[in-house]
Amino acid sequence: MQQSVIDASTREWTIQHETYARTVFATVLKYCAHPRGTMDRGPAKLNELISRIKISQYDSSIKLDDALCGAMEVDPARISLPEKAGVVDPKNHLTGQRLQDFLNMPTHTPLEFSKNRSDPACHKVSPKNWPVLLKKLYDADMITFLPKSQVLKDGNQLVKGGLFCVPHKPESDRLINDRRPLNAREQRLGWCQLPAGPMLTQLILRRCESVRASGDDLSNYFYLIKHLDQWQPRNCFGDAIRGRQMPGLDLKPNELYYPAFKVVCMGDTNGVDLAQATHEAILREVGCLRLDQTLVYGKMFPCSNTLEGLYIDDHLAFQVLDHKKKRCRGKQGDELIMDSSRKQYDKLNLPRSAKKGF
């Protein structure tokens, strides 16, 4: 498929190309005109697609990688960051085998290096924005700086990630660390057990019953999770920078440094496992996520009128209720769950999204 696209983009623009492009344009325009169509959402970025199709001839200045890639340039003024990163240390919450697996990640997770895993990471930060971005990440306590000699190597090659953005909100973008060169050299922890919305179709109600639901979303959750200090050489990214370019950080002026994330990254092959397991442990400390009430995809549906689900940064509770006239007074199970979880979030300085809570 990739070769076919390359071949098509390097050949002469013919009447057949023109006819096909206009047909695609008409189809896309019809879709966007439909009430359920949209030009603002979706990975296809239809508004951008239409603007390109409107160009009646092939534009050789557009690079193939740029045309096929959804990664956006990083604008330091638009990235979504927590006020204070790394506020939760998994070491303080994980228990048993998961705690041991986490502590042993630097020695047990890496795979043998292989020369066929040396493709460079996607890094889309302009040179003028690079120091500005690093200062912003450092001020949020998300990164540190390691001398070049401490960066992970495969032979003589430095193994590091790169930064790009994806759309998030109208006023902000989500920052991603492209860790593919490192992910290819690491094995999965395999901890993740998530719920799924369709599971609720198994819930059977009597005519006199209804369901109430409540939920919370944690803001910038991945970056709130502190990673091991020993993991920092595996979390380097981007281009080297001289110490003098980052004044006030006690770096040697002429030495080369690489930035390294101190937190769990979006883009880490084990990011979801670490985020889910840490969040589960935090909630279980205050009596949430009871085994007989928790939704887990692929497992038996709980036989309970109180249900609970956790999907990485989203926490939900459901309660089967009688009609108001027959309803018991006092707080129900779902209300007790949400009270406990919110007190725990406040205690640990985990910020909830006010707009998404319900």
CB atoms within 10 A of CB 211: 14
Domain count, the chain: 2
Residues 59 and 97 in one domain: no
Same structural domain for residues 207 and 329?
yes
Q: What is the pLDDT of residue 23?
A: 80
Residues 6+ apart with CB under 8 A from 156: none
- Residue 43 pLDDT greater than 50, yes or no: no
Cα–Cα distance for residue pair 179/261, rounded to 1 Å: 11
Task: Indicate if 296 and 209 belong to the same structural domain.
Answer: yes
- Residues 154 and 217 grouped into a single domain: yes
pLDDT at 323: 79
| Within-domain flag for 225 | yes
Over residues 21-50, the mean pLDDT reads 64
Tens digit of pLDDT for each residue in 102-140?
A: 999 999 888 776 655 567 888 999 999 999 999 999 999
Residue 358, domain member (yes or no): no
Asked whether residue 79 is assigned to any structural domain, the reply reads no
Residues 9 and 42 in one domain: yes
Residues 142, 192 within the same domain: yes
Rounded distance, CA 301 to CA 314, Å? 19
Average pLDDT, the chain: 86
Residue 84 lies in a domain: no
- Mean pLDDT of all residues in 303-308: 94
CB 136 within 8 A of CB 44: no
Which tens digits make up the pLDDT trace of 19-34?
877 887 777 777 666 6
CB neighbour list of residue 269: distance below 8 Å, 6 or more residues apart: 179, 183, 186, 188
Question: Residue 68 is encoded by which pair of tokens?
Answer: 């096929």
Sign for the CA dihedral angle at 25, 27, 28, 34 comes to positive
Residue 157 in tokens? 């090659």
Residues 166 and 303 in one domain: yes
First to last CA, the chain: 45
193 and 251 both lie in a single domain = yes
Closest CA to 231 of 264, 205, 275: 264
pLDDT at 1 > cutoff 60: no
Confirm if 306 and 317 have CB atoms less than 8 A apart: yes
47: which residues sit within 8 A by CB, 6+ positions away? 39, 40
d(CA 77, CA 89): 28
Q: Are residues 279 and 146 in the same domain?
A: yes
Same domain for 191 and 58: no
Note the pTM of the prediction, 2 decimals. Answer: 0.79
* 316 & 258 share domain: yes
Confidence of residue 75 (pLDDT cuts 50, 70, 90): very high
Q: Do residues 157 and 282 both lie within one domain?
A: yes
Short-list 36, 136, 128, CA closest to 82: 136
pLDDT tens across 325-351, in order? 666 677 888 999 999 999 999 999 999
- Choice between 112 and 53, residue whose per-residue pLDDT is larger: 112
At 35 the pLDDT is 59
Name beta bridge partners: 164.
176
Could you tell me if residue 329 is inside a domain? Answer: yes
Instruction: Flag whether 15 is in a domain.
Output: yes
The answer on pLDDT for 230 being more than 80 is yes
What domain range is 16 assigned to? 2-68
On whether residue 355 sits in a domain, the answer given is no
